[in-house]
């Protein structure tokens, strides 16, 4: 066996190194110095994040089961950034009394799930993909259950693990059909096998596959676990779930649909996605309107956001892919900013409902400011990054040019009004509503501040500085082989 092909996966290797370092620190360091573990893990991961920006060479490895190209490289970096912010924000929380005893596991499991997502992104064989998927989802179940004292945490974990296994079972069923029809699990081979007449069994398989990935992306009607899990899980884990795993799943989804089913089945899955997007955005918004618990509220908002991300998938072209990755990046910054504020306030006061935020601007103007930026960015208000990502993803979707897509974009746009409504509700609570027993002024830890500042800069700059999107689109347009069969 040729070990040089490990050079194809420097990011995976680096991640494993980080994991090992954290593991060794956790295992062999004296227990009194374990307080430094969170910071240590964060710093090491930060270094890794920076190094992983070094370009990798394109190519396939391990019998073409694993592909690394510019797009996967960029996507992994995007995830790294998000992961770094999450770790940064979780430093203080990880040292709090309840979780301190298990802080090591927290970081190890987080890094493991990230590794699984890497596999999802880079896998070009369904075996690798499935392993990555499970590696990404199973540790998360334990992370959801991390708040040992809270019943909600465990209820959420139970719901999560049961539904997760169920969905993976369904997806595997679909995969077995695919295998039975084609006799292979390589993406490219399947693609070359299934050209020709449409078989019903493959349609079923496609539906099951979409449902399996849609579960990770929490698309309606496979989304119902989302709200409960987000609400019950520790806020750090929630933010991680809402952005990182979503992002990776979206990317993998794009690759599978375009590369595997792109050839002959594009109309079919585009139709399926069409229906799913419409109900996803709508249902997510409708639920979000009535939520008072902010974590639950953001859960539903993230459902509708997933619908917007799918607009990039349905476009199935280079612009759409670039817009989707760009959207994910912006979404990471915006959502992590929101969750960061929620986490800080929850850690200080334990309050998570909208009404608790009344008059927040008077007492904690900066937190309120960041939260407002996050809400505006999620709602797509210029000059913040969310506006650009929304515009570009609509642009990408509309590039396919048929009127049906325009109608879809119109539906999405009308939904942005509803979403704007509930985002503004939060702003209203913080800025307009007055409350004498508002959350008192407090100072947050410097790591949390750092995380929020990074998010704020991202929200403000990513849109105005065009180079990021330009780079992404340059990358995606270079993937000629991928879109060749569409």
Partner 1 sequence: MEIFSNMLIYFVIIPVITLAGLALTKNKGIDAIRAVAVTGATALVALAIYLVIYFLHARATGDTSDMILQTSVTWYEPLNIKLALGVDGVSVVMILLSAFIVFAGVFASWKMDPLPKQFFLWFFLLSTGVFGFFISVDLFTMFMFYEVALIPMYLLIGVWGSGNKTYSAMKLTLMLMGGSAFLMLGIIGIYFHSAPEGQPLTMNILEIAQNDAIPHQWQYYLFPLTFVGFGVLGAMFPFHTWSPDGHASAPTAVSMLHAGVLMKLGGYGCFRIAIFLMPFAAQQLGWIFLTLTGISIVYGAFSACVQTDLKYINAYSSVSHCGMVLFAILMFNKTAMTGAVLQMLSHGLMTALFFALIGMIYGRTHTRDIREMGGLMHIMPYLGVGYVIAGFASLGLPGLSGFVAEMTIFVGSFEHQDMFRRVLTIAATTSIVITAVYILRVVGKLLYGAVQDEHHRTLTDADATERISTATLILAVAIIGCFPNFFIDIIRDSFTPVVNALTSVM
Partner 2 sequence: MPLSSTIYVLAIPFFMFLFLGLVGVKMPRKITGVIGVLGMAVTTVWAYAIAFTYFFGVDQGQMSDGVRQQIVTTDWTWLSFYADKLVVKLGILLDPISAMMLVVISTVSFMVHLYSLGYMSDHDGNPEKGFQRYYADLALFTFSMLGLVVSTNIFQMFIFFEMVGVSSYLLIGFYYGQQPANHASKKAFIVTRLADLFFLIGILILSFYTKTFDFIQIMGANGHDVCNAFTSAQGLTFMGCSVTGWALTFIFIGGAGKSAMYPLHIWLPDAMEGPTPVSALIHAATMVVAGVFLVARMFPLYVLEQGAMDIICVVGAFTAFYAAAVACTQSDIKRALAFSTISQIAFMMTSLAVSSADGKLIGGHEAGLGYMASMFHLFTHAMFKALLFLCAGAIIHAVHSNENSKMHGLHKYMPITSIAFLIGCLAIAGIPPFAGFFSKDEILVACYEKGIGWGLWMSMVAGMTAFYMFRIYYLIFFWKKHEVHGEHKPKDQPWTMTVPLIVLALISCVAGFVPFGDLVTWDGAKLETHLNLPVAGASVGIALIGIGLATAMYWKENPLPDKLASMFKGLWTASYKRFYMDELYQFITHKIIFQGISKPIAWFDRTIIDGFFNLLGNVTNSASFGIRKMQSGSVQGYVSYYIIGAVLLAAITGIVILCF
Partner 3 sequence: MDLTLLMYLIPSLIMFGCGVYGFVTRKNMIAILISLELMLNSVDINFVVFNRYLFPAQHEGMFFTLFAIAIAAAETAVAIAIIINVYRLAKNVDINQITKMKF
Binding mask 229-258 for partner 3 (x = CB under 8 A): --xx--------------------------
437 binds partner 2 (CB under 8 A): no
404 touching partner 2, by CB under 8 A: no
From 23, 179, 274, 387, residue interacting with partner 1 (rule: CB under 8 A)? 387
* Shortest reach from residue 224's CB to partner 2, in Å: 4
The residue from 98, 271, 442, 446 that contacts partner 2 (CB under 8 A) is 271
CA distance 23 to 17: 10
**Among partner 1, partner 3, partner 2, none, what binds residue 414 when CB lies within 5 to 8 Å by partner kind?**
partner 1
Of 15-23, 24-32, 159-167, 316-324, the window that binds partner 3 (rule: CB under 8 A) is 159-167
Instruction: Transcribe 353-390 into DSSP letters.
Output: BGGGGTTHHHH-HHHHHHHHHHHHHHHT-TTSHHHHHH
> Least Å distance between CB 417 and partner 2?
10
DSSP per residue over 163-199, as a string? HHHHHHHHHHHHHHHHHHHHS--BHHHHHHHS-SSPP
Contact between residue 240 and residue 136 where contact means Cβ atoms under 8 Å apart: no
Q: Can you read off the two tokens belonging to residue 188?
A: 């490219």
Is 453 one of the binding residues for partner 1 (CB under 8 A)? no
Q: DSSP for 433-477? A: ---TTPPPP----HHHHHHHHHHHHHHHHHHH-THHHHHHHHHHH
Which of partner 1, partner 2, partner 3, none lies near 410, with the C-beta cut-off 5 to 8 A by kind? partner 1
Buried b (16+ CB within 10 A) or exposed e, 253-285: bbbbbbbbbbbebbeebbebbbebbbebbbbbb
Best CA proximity match to 286, nearest among 274, 304, 273: 304
**Interaction mask 118-157, partner 3, x per CB under 8 A:** --------xx--xx--x---x--xx--x--x--xx-xxxx
The span from the CA of 86 to the CA of 80, in Å, is: 10
**Listed residue (193, 271, 251) closest to 71, CA to CA:** 251
DSSP state of 125: B
- Selected from 188, 353, 399, 478, the binder of partner 1 by CB under 8 A is 399
CA-closest candidate to residue 191, choices 119, 257, 249: 257
CA distance between the termini of the chain: 35
Place of tokens 């949390």: 448
If the CB atoms of residues 340 and 386 are measured against partner 1, the closer one turns out to be 386
Both tokens of residue 184?
Answer: 């292979």
Tell whether residue 162 is a contact of partner 3 (CB under 8 A): yes
Show contacts with partner 1 in window 48-107 (CB under 8 A): none
What is the rounded distance in angstroms from the CA atom of residue 138 to the CA atom of residue 141?
5
Query: Which residue number, 233 or 385, has a Cβ lying nearer to partner 3?
Result: 233
| Crossing angle (nearest 10°) for helices 318-349 and 70-94 | 0
Rg (CA), the chain: 21
Site for partner 2 in 284-323 (CB under 8 A): 286-287, 289-290
The nearer residue to partner 1, 95 or 399, going by C-beta atoms, is 399
Q: Which of the 8 DSSP states describes residue 293? A: B
Pick out residues in 188-217 that bind partner 2 (CB under 8 A). Answer: 198, 200, 203-204, 206-208, 210-211, 215
Residues in contact with partner 1 by CB under 8 A are 319, 322, 376, 381-383, 387, 391-392, 394-395, 398-399, 401, 406, 409-410, 413-414, 416-417, 420-421, 424, 427-428, 431-432, 466, 469-470, 473-474, 477
Sites of contact with partner 2 (CB under 8 A): 158-159, 162-163, 166-167, 170, 198, 200, 203-204, 206-208, 210-211, 215, 220-222, 224-225, 227-228, 268, 271-272, 275-276, 283, 286-287, 289-290, 418
Judged by the rule CB under 8 A, the positions of this chain that interact with partner 3 are: 126-127, 130-131, 134, 138, 141-142, 145, 148, 151-152, 154-159, 161-162, 164-166, 168-170, 172-173, 175-177, 179-180, 183-185, 227-228, 231-232, 290, 296
């Amino acid at each position: 066996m040729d070990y040089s092909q490990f050079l194809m996966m420097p990011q995976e290797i680096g991640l494993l190194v980080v994991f090992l370092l954290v593991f060794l620190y956790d295992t062999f360091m004296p227990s009194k110095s374990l307080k430094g573990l969170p910071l240590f893990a964060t710093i090491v991961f930060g270094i890794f994040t920076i190094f992983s920006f070094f370009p990798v060479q394109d190519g396939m490895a391990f019998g073409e089961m694993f592909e690394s190209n510019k797009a996967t490289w960029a996507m992994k970096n995007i995830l790294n950034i998000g992961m770094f912010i999450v770790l940064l924000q979780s430093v203080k929380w990880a040292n709090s009394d309840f979780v301190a005893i298990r802080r090591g596991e927290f970081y190890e499991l987080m890094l493991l799930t990230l590794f699984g997502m890497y596999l999802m992104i880079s896998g070009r064989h369904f075996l690798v993909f499935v392993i990555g998927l499970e590696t990404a989802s199973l540790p998360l179940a334990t992370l959801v259950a991390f708040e040992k004292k809270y019943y909600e945490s465990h209820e959420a974990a139970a719901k999560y693990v049961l539904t997760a296994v169920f969905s993976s079972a369904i997806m595997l069923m679909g995969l077995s059909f695919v295998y039975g029809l084609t006799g292979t699990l390589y993406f490219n081979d399947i693609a070359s096998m299934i050209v020709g007449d449409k078989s019903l069994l493959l349609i079923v398989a496609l539906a099951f596959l979409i449902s399996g990935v849609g579960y990770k992306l929490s698309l309606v009607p496979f989304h119902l676990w989302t709200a409960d899990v987000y609400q019950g899980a520790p806020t750090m884990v929630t933010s991680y779930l809402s952005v990182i795993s979503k992002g990776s799943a979206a990317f993998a989804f794009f690759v599978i649909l375009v590369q595997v089913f792109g050839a002959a089945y594009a109309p079919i899955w585009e139709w399926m996605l069409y229906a799913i997007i419409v109900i996803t955005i709508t249902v997510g918004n409708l639920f979000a309107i009535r939520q008072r618990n902010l974590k639950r509220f953001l859960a539903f908002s993230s459902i509708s956001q997933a619908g917007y991300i799918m607009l990039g998938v349905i476009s199935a072209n280079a612009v759409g892919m670039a817009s989707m990755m760009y959207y994910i990046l912006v979404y990471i910054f915006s959502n992590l900013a929101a969750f960061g504020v929620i986490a800080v306030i929850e850690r200080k006061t334990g309050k998570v409902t909208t009404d608790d935020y009344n008059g927040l601007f008077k007492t904690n103007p900066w937190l309120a400011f960041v939260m407002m930026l996050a809400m505006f960015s999620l709602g797509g208000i210029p000059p913040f990054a969310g506006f650009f990502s929304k515009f570009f993803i609509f642009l990408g979707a509309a590039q396919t040019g048929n009127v049906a897509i325009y109608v879809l974009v119109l539906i999405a746009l009308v939904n942005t009004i509803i979403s704007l409504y509930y985002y503004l509700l939060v702003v209203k609570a913080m800025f307009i509503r007055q409350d004498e027993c508002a959350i008192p002024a407090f100072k947050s830890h410097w790591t949390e501040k750092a995380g929020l500042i990074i998010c704020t800069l991202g929200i403000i700059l990513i849109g105005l500085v065009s180079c990021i999107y330009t780079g992404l689109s340059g990358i995606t347009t270079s993937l000629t082989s991928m879109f060749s069969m569409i």
